[in-house]
Structure formats: structure tokens, C-alpha cells
Structure 1
Amino acid sequence: MKKTLLLRIIFVLFLMPLFSIAQTTQTQPATDSESDIKYPTFQFKGLIQARYLESFEDDVDVLGAHHSTGNVTQSSFDIKRMRVGLNTKLSKETEVVILVNLADFKSDTKGKVLENAYGKYTFNKYIALTGGQFRPAFGIEELVPVDIIKSFDFSNQYYEFGKNGWTSFQIGASATGAFDVGKIPVDYAFSVLNGNGKNAEMDKDNGKQFSTRWVLGLSKKHEINLGLNGGFGKVFKEDVFAIGADITSDFKLTDKLSFDLQIEYKQGTNHNLYFSLPVASRTPDVADYQMRGIYFLPNFRYVVDYNKLTSLEISCRYERFDPSYKVDSNLRQTYTPMVSLEFGKAYRGRIEAGFQIDRFDQNVPDTTTYDNNLFLIQLQLRL
């Protein structure tokens, strides 16, 4: 009874006002091109990321794991992602999105392969409702596909917050939209999630995780956006939380040279770590186990437009992440310098080369918590 009442209160406080806006706002008349569209429409998407990896750290393999025996694989070819997706528009307002990663078949597929599987109904620009398995908005990286990010992969904090139910692919529902406050454009998102990752048969407990994201457009000229994130919930009857702030900008230095910067900070309860520890070896309070991290990602882009080569990009992400800074702290610093050659528009083709350099305050033998110098060359093709 209490749960039903809580959900009703949340619905009234957050969603009903948005429905009111949607109902009172006049629908824009369809243009000739819109009226000529025959539904349903289908758009197929694909992505392959093939890589060559080489570890330059003694006794550390290409996956970052230390081996005290010294018998390690220090060079290897790999397929990071082989994605196939389908976007179906059932009508102007309704769409269904499916995305699978076939590269997950190279290992245990439990909880893998299926990534996006959701339906979305857009009333207007003020509100759209999404339900199913999707990436909830809770930071910069959640809103950007991995194939157009300015580094080899997402940050360490993205994956750790994903294990704790705030980012990456989650099952639940979300309301998103945009409006203006004076001259400032605002994007928002409210999400309610199971919080136990993708492809789970059911929620691991009766608790849910509630999160929100707000993005304020501070400068249209330099594309400066400020993002604020917050969330709370219950996991196995324990209170958990997460907060974050981020800023993005894009400066055009010359006609061909531009500079963009991403800065993102996150902090929250690491309940995934807490419940993975034996009861005897952890403190009684889950709030003692908190993760936090920050990264800086500067990127220079030079437009070439020579034959098939579209642009040259140089970036270097620096990240500090600690999975439990209050208890048994072990700070991880990661440097990821990268050079990227773009072929075609929107990263249709891309060749990347660089390093991932990890440094821990304390190395733990025979684990992935160990200093590493990894060289990567990655070929990316997308459609």
C-alpha cells in the first residue's frame, strides 16, 4: 500500500504537470514531407570495433590482469563490439529501438548481448516517455554512443556507476523533454529503474532507484552546457544515493580547428562492492562505501577534407577514480592519449591509436588492480 501511494505521489508531482504542458501546447502542423512519410519506417544500424592490443607492463596481460606466474598474453587481436540495431518508427510519435552486441558471444553471454530494447512515445518537445531497457540519462557519457566518443571507451566511473544501477543499460521507465527558461534552454530526465543491470529476469529486490538529470545551455556560441545529476533509492532495504555534475564546451579556434572539453564528476554509494564483500570483512553501514571520480577530456579536431580523410583528432583523457575512498581507499589514475583519423562524415570510418596507462596507489597481485601500459590500435566502421 505504501509503495502504491509513493508511486502515485511521484506521478502527481513530476509527470502530471508535464502532461498538462503537453496537452495545452498546440501541436505544430505537419509539413508536406512529414505527411508523405508512410509508417512504419525502418532504419538499420551497425558498428564494428576491431582492435590490436599490446601490454607493455611485465606480467600483465592485454585485459589488464596481473599474473604472478609470468605466463601472460601480451599481444592480441580483439573484436570489442559488433553491434546490430534496428530503429522502427510506428508513427511520428512512436518508436521502438533494438540493439544487440554480437561480440558478447565470444564469452559467457549471461546478462549480455541484448543492449537496447525499448519503446518511446513523444508527445512533443516538452515530454517523451520511454520504457524497457535503455541507457538512463545520468551524465555526459550516457547520452553519447560509444562510437562517437572522443576516446577509446567510456570512463572507469561510467562502468562502476553502471554496476551500481545508475548508468549503462538498465531496465525501467523514463520521462524526458526540453523547455526554455528565458533565453536558457533546459533538458531534463526523470528515471525509475530496477538498478540491477541489463537482461535481468526480474529485480533483485523490491527497491527501485530514482534519478534525474538537468542540462542548462549556458552558451549557444561555444556550446557550453552544464549538467546536474542526482539519484536515490533502496537496495536490499539499504539507502543508496548518487550525485554528479558535468560541463561540456566546444570552441571554434579557426575555420578548420576546434577545441572541445568535457569535465565530469560523480560520487555515490558503492553498494555493489558492499554486498560483494563477506559480512565479517565489511563495516555495518553501506554508507561507508562510497565511490567518486572525475575526468577531463580535452580534444582538438582539425578538418582535413583530403580525399577520403575528413579530420584529424588528438585527445587525452585524464581520470581519477576511487571505488571506495572512505574504506580501503585505492585511487586509480588513468591517462588515455589518442590520435584519431576520421573517414567520411559522423565517424563513418575511424582509425584510432594510443595508450591506456593505469596507475594505482596500491597494486594487488593477480588481479586487474595493477599498474598497466596498454597500446591500442582500433578500427571502427559504422552505418
Structure 2
Amino acid sequence: MNKSLLIKIIFVFVIIPLFVTAQTADKPAAASPESSVAYPQFQFKGLLQARYLESTGTNVDVMGVHHSTGEVTQSSFDIKRMRVGLNTKLSNTTEVVILVNLADFKSDTKGKVLENAYGKYTFNKYIALTGGQFRPAFGIEELVPVDIIKSFDFSNQYYEFGKNGWTSFQIGASASGAFDVGKIPVNYAVSVLNGNGKNQEMDNDNGKQYSTRWVFGLSKEHQINLGLNGGIGKRSDQKVFALGVDITSDFKLTDRFTFDLQVEYKQGTNQNLYFSLPADARTSNVDDYQMRGIYFLPNLRYVVDYKKLTSLELSCRFESFDNNFKVNSNERKTYTPMISLEFGKAYLGRIEMGFEIDRYDKNIPDTAFYNDDLFLIQLQLRL
């Protein structure tokens, strides 16, 4: 490790915690509940994720793109997210949610900035209806905010399935709820989506994508949950599909140590890739273009509770993903070891340090399909 990098690491772990401590002062106790609740109720939320990036790959920039000319930016500070959100409860059954990412203004804002924009009406625990732009339930990551995940960012498969209309922020409607089958708690969601991404004026064809997620609680003690996901739809009169299975668990090893694990597998049509190719450069069948991926994310948490330092976490996600395994396979293996310091409760303040290590079966010069080693330090503050 070179001297300049060592100095940066020392700075982050010595100076920044003082700043975080100042931001996470104890809040006054909440007032006693009143006999009646006044509506509407407003809850403001915010998230800052600021990062330092340093690529150690040969002629690979901080965005993971190879440059054969050798003219490459290999270190940079970055604002990953600067989110501002408002949750408004109009009644005990109706809420409206708005979320924007102001960091998107640093580049072309087309199709960006606005993330959540939906309304939700809850009839009872068995059914609630959601409409607008939201993250449809289709896997583990879709139900977890990015500021409390156990890694720097979501997985490669999450973003690729988002490009294909199954995950991330989509426009449509959803029904969700929970019930018990004997002693097994079950959560479900059924969604119908335009499938062409966020912030679009309208659907870009007459096809819709239908997806569902079912989660079965197998063990309450160890919080073992099994998730099953499936989806079908049409894109420009071509049939598309997606499926997935995932499992989560959380084991309390001692009073201070806990170990949790996420495993997720997905496979589906990569219609986004298919329609991006010239007609004479692809086959006639969209089903020839499929993506699949699996990741394992173990996380060990140690509760510190020393002054403002709440916990220390160690994680290392391993992911294998191929965006076109049937026609032109080029498997990408990604290793993401990370250490995290938590300040305050519920990740109010967080400092993360680690690497994203990419290895491809085939390196393609002057593209992002190229081996890379990226060092990251990320500061997170949330309201």
C-alpha cells in the first residue's frame, strides 16, 4: 500500500469520526402519545453518501472503464447519493411518498433525479395497494434501502434487472400484504409495470410486465426467510420472463456478535441488451439473450457501544453475473470485502472502507468489461 493511500485511510478513521460524533448527538425523548392523532403527518428524510475512489487496475478509471490510450482518472472524490425524501400520512390508511436524488444533477438528469413518487392505501394487513413510481418487490435488495445494506452498493444483478424493468424504480401498480399459513408467516406482492424504467412520459410499447414475490418465514428464532420471485411480460411483442430465489438468515452468536447471510439467484431475459443491438447483429429470438447471477453476502456484526461508536461490521459479498450467457458469455466475478463503523442508531452515521474486485472471463479493451481493483472509502449520514 503506497504512502499517500495510507495517509488517506488514517485521515478517514481519525478525523471523520469526530465529525460524525457531532452529527449524532442524543435526541430528546419523544413526547408521550396523545389520545388522538392529527393528520396529515410529515416525515422528512435525507441521505448523504460521499466517497473516495482509487482504481489500481492498469489503465482502468474509477468508473471501471479501460482506456488503451493510458489517459485515465484513477482517483476521485464523488457524491454517490444526496437524497431528500418526504413521507406524508394523510390518514391511518393513506400515505404519499416522494424521494429525489440531488446527486443526479451532476450529470445528464434525463430519466434521473426523481426516484420514489407513489401513493399507498392500506386496507388491512392482508392487502395494500400502491401506485406510481416505486421499487417493486422482486428479490431481497428491492425491499432494503441502500443506506442499510451490508455492502457499498446493490449487486450487479440488481442494476441489470432494473434495466430490464423488474427491479429498481419502475412505474406501475402493486398489491401486497401478509397472512399466516398454519405457523408459517407469508408476505406477498403482485405488481404490474410499464417495464421501461423510471421517469418516463409513458410506456414505450403496449407490453406490460407482471411480477410477484412470496416470502415464507421458516424460522422466527434465526429469522430464516425463503423468497420466491417470478415475472412474465411482453416487450415489443416479444415474450420476456424473470425468476429468482433467495434466502436470508440472522443468527445471534453471543450478546454482542451476530451473523447474517443473504443468498440470491436470478435469471431472466435481457431484452434491454437485445433491443440495443442492430437487427442484423442479433438472432431473431429474444429468448436467446438471457442473464443470470448469484451472490452470497455474509456479514459479521459486533456491538461496541463505546461512546458514539455503535458497532463494527465485516462483510464480503461474492457475486457471479453474466448478462448474456447463452450467446456471448463473459462471466463477471465480483468480490467486495468491506469493514464498516456505525455511529448512532440505525446507521445514522457510517464509515465504510474496502474494495470492489472485478474479474472477467474475457477482457475487452476500451470497455467496462475489464478486470479492475477499486479501493473505496464511503461516508454515510442519514436523517
Q: Normalized against structure 1, the TM-score is what?
A: 0.91
Counterparts of 1:347-366 in structure 2, within 5 Å, are: 347-366=347-366
**Counterpart secondary structure, 2:129:** strand
In structure 2, C-alpha distance between the alignment counterparts of 1:172 and 1:153, rounded to whole Å: 25
Number of equivalences = 352
Aligned to 1:14: none
**1:217 — aligned with what?**
217
CA offset digits 1:174-198 (Å, max 9, x no partner): 0000000000000000000000000
Distance 2:359 2:197 in 1: 28
Tell me: CA distance 1:329–1:34, structure 2 relative to 1, closer, same or farther (3 Å). farther
Partner of 1:226 in structure 2?
Answer: 226
Alpha-carbon offset, residue 35 of structure 1: 5.2
In the TM superposition, residue 337 of structure 1 has moved relative to its aligned partner by 0.2
Match of 2:94 in 1: 94
The amino acid that maps onto 2:196 is N
* CA drift at 1:33: 4.8
Instruction: Return the letter of the residue paired with 1:64.
Output: G
Pairwise mapping of residues 10-29 of structure 1 onto structure 2 (< 5 A)? none
Deviations 1:202-242 (A, max 9, x none): 00100000000000000000000000000000000000000
Instruction: Work out the CA distance in 1 between the residues paired with 2:101 and 2:48.
Output: 9
Determine helix, strand or coil for the equivalent of 1:60: coil
Counterpart position of 1:76: 76
CA distance in 1, matches of 2:75, 2:239: 44
Q: Which runs of 5+ in 1 are unaligned?
A: 1-31
Query: Over the residues paired in the alignment, what is the CA RMSD in angstroms?
Result: 0.9
Give the TM-score taking structure 2 as reference length.
Answer: 0.91
How far 1:281 sits from its partner (Å)?
Answer: 1.0
Equivalent residue of 2:272, what SS? Answer: helix
| CA displacement, residues 19-78 of structure 1 (integer Å, 9 cap, x when unaligned) | xxxxxxxxxxxxx95851100000000000000000001100000010010010000000
The residue correspondences of 1:336-347 to structure 2 (distance < 5 A) are 336-347=336-347
Structure 2 CA distance, aligned partners of 1:216 and 1:240? 26
Letter in 2 for 1:211: S
Partner residue of 1:138?
138
Look up the match of 2:13. Answer: none
Residue number in structure 1 paired with 2:264: 264
How far 1:314 sits from its partner (Å)?
0.1
Q: Distance in 2 between matches of 1:256 and 1:182?
A: 33
2:252 partner amino acid: K
1:239 maps to 2:252: no
Which residue number in structure 1 is paired with residue 381 of structure 2? 381
1:151 is aligned to 151
Match of 1:46 in 2: 46
Report the Cα distance in structure 1 between the residues aligned to 2:103 and 2:47, rounded to whole angstroms: 11
List 4+ stretches of structure 1 deviating above 2 A: 32-35
Alpha-carbon distance in structure 1 between the residues aligned to 2:34 and 2:96: 19
In the TM superposition, what whole-angstrom CA distance separates every residue of 1:87-114 from its partner, at most 9, and x where no partner exists?
0000000000000000000000000000
CA–CA distance in structure 2, aligned partners of residues 287 and 368 of structure 1: 24
For structure 2, list consecutive stretches of 5 or more residues without a partner in the other structure: 1-31
Q: Relative to 1, partners in 2 of residues 1:109 and 1:221: Cα closer, same or farther, differing over 3 Å?
A: same
